[in-house]
Structure 1
């Protein structure tokens, strides 16, 4: 008789284990699937600008080295040498005349044309203006807002192709 009770207890335990297993399976299958909270990065490819008329980007031989000395409020002038390459990269060298520390800066990076094809913007310039209007063998340095410099010193903000 003792063995029969043991068998009944054992069978009841097996039923409980099977019942718990079945209940767990039901609960797991009824739960909501996890929602992914990952932020998808949107890949934005810039399409090249297609110009419909002649402009500096399409009509001029703009690549090359341009040089000039532009005015400076705290020195005698800033010798500026800007080289534009066909692969839309640049090298910009500036030398500040008449300063005790003889400050020289070199920047390099990429440049982009505006939608009109007449103004370039230098990327990654550490200090100073970044926009130039491109003309026949000349670059006009633009002010910090991207406007042509006017006034008595306007002619001093022109870099000439070498």
Structure 2
């Protein structure tokens, strides 16, 4: 029995002497890489928002309320390259007239609202972007409230 215990002890000693010790150089390199990665991550915006987490490019449609006509058919196309197309048609006024605006848009700091640049007159220029829909906002960038609030939501068509 002492022979087998001696052999087992010798075998364990042999196995433990064969294992390679960890190299501190590799550990130091990994630490340097981690701190560099942390600096990069800290410079990136944190959290998901409409701009970086939603499939927002596409065309949206709704018939917005109108005080002097039957409604304003509104098509908004948001393109991945930061351009837009806004088409409006005032129903019941001049059925042949469609207004078409094109230009660039920018995102706000939160990445949830776009502002159109290059519009003239009182054309709408701010929209909150959500999942498969955008909200037509007032001139101050606020959601429209009240009984007709749901009619200011444009739904993604394609």
Q: Give 1:124's aligned residue.
A: 118
Structure 1 unaligned residues grouped into runs of 5+:
1-48
Aligned length, in residue pairs = 114
* Superposed displacement of residue 128, structure 1: 1.7
Q: Give 1:141's aligned residue.
A: 136
TM-score normalised over the length of structure 1: 0.67
Deviation above 4 Å: which 4+ runs of structure 1?
Answer: none
RMSD, matched Cα: 1.5
Larger Rg: 1
Is the 1:65–1:84 contact (alpha carbons within 8 Å) kept by the matching residues of 2?
yes
TM-aligned CA distance change 1:139 to 1:109, over 3 Å? same
Whether 1:60 and 2:40 are equivalent positions in the alignment is no
Is the 1:51–1:117 contact (alpha carbons within 8 Å) kept by the matching residues of 2?
no
Q: Using the alignment, how far apart are the partners of 1:105 and 1:80 within structure 2? A: 10
> Of Structure 1 and Structure 2, which has the larger fraction of its residues in helix?
2
Is the 1:96–1:102 contact (alpha carbons within 8 Å) kept by the matching residues of 2?
no
Q: Give 1:92's aligned residue.
A: 86
* Matches for 1:9-88 after TM superposition, within 5 Å: 50-88=44-82
TM-aligned CA distance change 1:52 to 1:158, over 3 Å? same
TM-score normalised over the length of structure 2: 0.69
